[in-house]
Amino acid sequence: MHLAVVAAAKHPGTWSPLLGATVLSIGNLDEDLSRRLSENTPIFGSNEDANDASDWLRDSLVASVAVTALAMPSGENTQQHIINKTKGLVIEVAALKVTSLATSGLKDATDRERPNQANNKSFPSGHTSRAFAAAALTSKNLKSLSLDPGTETSIRVGLYSFATATAWARVEANVHYATDVLAGAALGNFLSRFIHNAFLGLEYENQVIIEITPKHSHLELQWRF
């Protein structure tokens, strides 16, 4: 479990957005950048189109989690295949749900007003945390598919391009500041990678093991001393 936390925290998708948010917190950089993007909307053309695009991009990434999870090899016989598929899907859905709950909790705790003054749910961005969580989970799933390195890299670039575009769109839509989306990216990446590593990460000796059979279920914490 400790290794899963460390690996998720050390991943560039966790610490680099936090570093960016820290830099933007200096002076009025955050507010100035966010205002320019929402007024000029250089990518999406309008606040409304940016808002619609952020919904579509986020939902597409969430769908990619389910598609890749179902495509992964999961055992030689039908019973084991169903059990492993169920386990994988449950854990990845749980990772997305935990990300959403953590985001909501931070919104309530920070009480930051949105740039459009709609409410006090600005920090962090829920669209962005969910998008980056989905991108991280799908990226993990790709490692279990029989893809050539070039194809896998191209898909991974596409995933994070979609997640980044989601974050950008939230700022252009005038519903979040740049630091909101950077914090959301870090949160989603950290939580999804931690949960995936802890429950499904075969590369870790210390992990949570879940066994589900038709007759019983079993939860075990493996820890190497």
- Our count of domains for the chain comes to 1
pLDDT for 43-67, tens place per residue?
999 999 999 999 999 999 999 999 9
Please write down the long-range contacts of 20-28, taking CB distance under 8 Å and 24 or more positions apart: 20/182, 21/178, 21/179, 21/182, 21/183, 21/186, 24/178, 24/179, 24/182, 25/179
Region of 219 (left: φ > 0; alpha: ψ -120 to 50; beta: rest) is beta
| Alpha-carbon span 109 to 195, nearest angstrom | 23
Amino acid found at 32: D
Q: Over the chain, what is the mean pLDDT? A: 89
Domain with 64 in it? 2-222
Work out the pLDDT band at 222, boundaries 50, 70, 90. very low
pLDDT for 89-115, tens place per residue?
999 999 999 999 999 999 999 999 999
Residue with the bigger pLDDT between 50 and 75: it is 50
